[in-house]
Amino acid sequence: MRTSHPSQAPRKPLGQVTRGKTARNRLRPVDNFFLMYDPGLLVRGDGDFSRALFVDLGYGAEAFTTLETADRFRKLNPHLGILGVEIEPERVARALPFADRQTFFRLGGFNLPLLPGEFVRAMRAFNVLRQYEETEVALAWQQMARGVLPGGLLVEGTSNPFGSILSANVLRRVDDDSAPWRQEALVFYTNFRLGFDPVEFQTILPKNFIHRITPGEPIYDFFAAWKASAAESTPMRAFGLRPWFAASAEGLSRRGYKVRLQKKWLSRGWLVWEFA
């Protein structure tokens, strides 16, 4: 089954204009996540992947995040095409002077403005769905799937204004246009400048989770377990926030949660809760 693809770029972007606030290096942690989580996806060049783009959906009032991503990812793949997408025409106009033969800025929304022959290998959509209703999330994901190749990734979530703390869904494109995404993980990041408290992540959960911190919901049970793990490992705080954070992850693992315990994740402030 071949991934559906628009025959031409959509004329009318689907979605709402966001506040567009951005800051330099706000999404550097998300770029680093892609580079650690699935670097092979960024260099894959077989078949349609040879012309597959990385998409920065909803880059905001300035083009900082798209340009920074291009700089980071091209150290791994010098030929990688990067597409920045915004729903506000004035933002696209401001970004266009920074375009080059591998970096593009286009007007668009969840229905990605792909040209014939273009595909997507991975996409970042941050602080975009925050303003939507929870019931609108599934439709937005469905729309974003068009043009994404099977095996591609969507990392969609929320950060605070400076990117010092964030959470995100990690979705893998499957070869089924009726149910195009498989949730692979829910991830959390902190640079520890705000300290460490699992409760803080509850305020920046992706839209599909943020209203589900109620008894009986899996996300409620997860945070209850994380808080308990952090409390029982409080003595590790004497050695610093990072060891305490790592110990709390180990406590989650003992409670039956599939979390990555490798040092490369925990020492950098990442908690990766795997679903598959």
Note the pLDDT tens digit of each residue in 155-200.
999 999 899 999 999 999 999 989 999 999 999 999 999 999 999 9
What's the pLDDT band for 19 if we cut at 50, 70, 90? low
CA-based nearest residue to 61, from 39, 29, 93? 93
- 28-190 carries CATH number 3.40.50.150: yes
- Inter-residue contact 212 to 186 (CB < 8 Å): no
pLDDT in tens, 84-130: 999 999 999 999 999 999 999 999 999 999 999 999 999 999 999 98
The per-residue pLDDT of the chain, averaged, comes to 93
Higher pLDDT, 117 or 24: 117
Dihedral sign of CA atoms 91, 94, 98, 101 in order? positive
Read off the amino acid at residue 249: A
Give yes or no for residue 21 having a pLDDT over 50: yes
- Give the C-alpha separation, 242 to 255, whole Å: 20
Q: What pLDDT is stored for residue 114 in this prediction?
A: 96
Q: What pLDDT is stored for residue 18 in this prediction?
A: 59
Tokens matching residue 60: 């905001």
Widest distance between CA atoms in the chain? 59
Q: What pLDDT is stored for residue 10 in this prediction?
A: 53
Mean pLDDT of 228-246: 98
Query: Where are the chain's structural domains?
Result: 28-190, 212-269
Mean pLDDT of 232-251: 98
Mean pLDDT of 230-239: 97
CA-based nearest residue to 218, from 231, 205, 230? 205
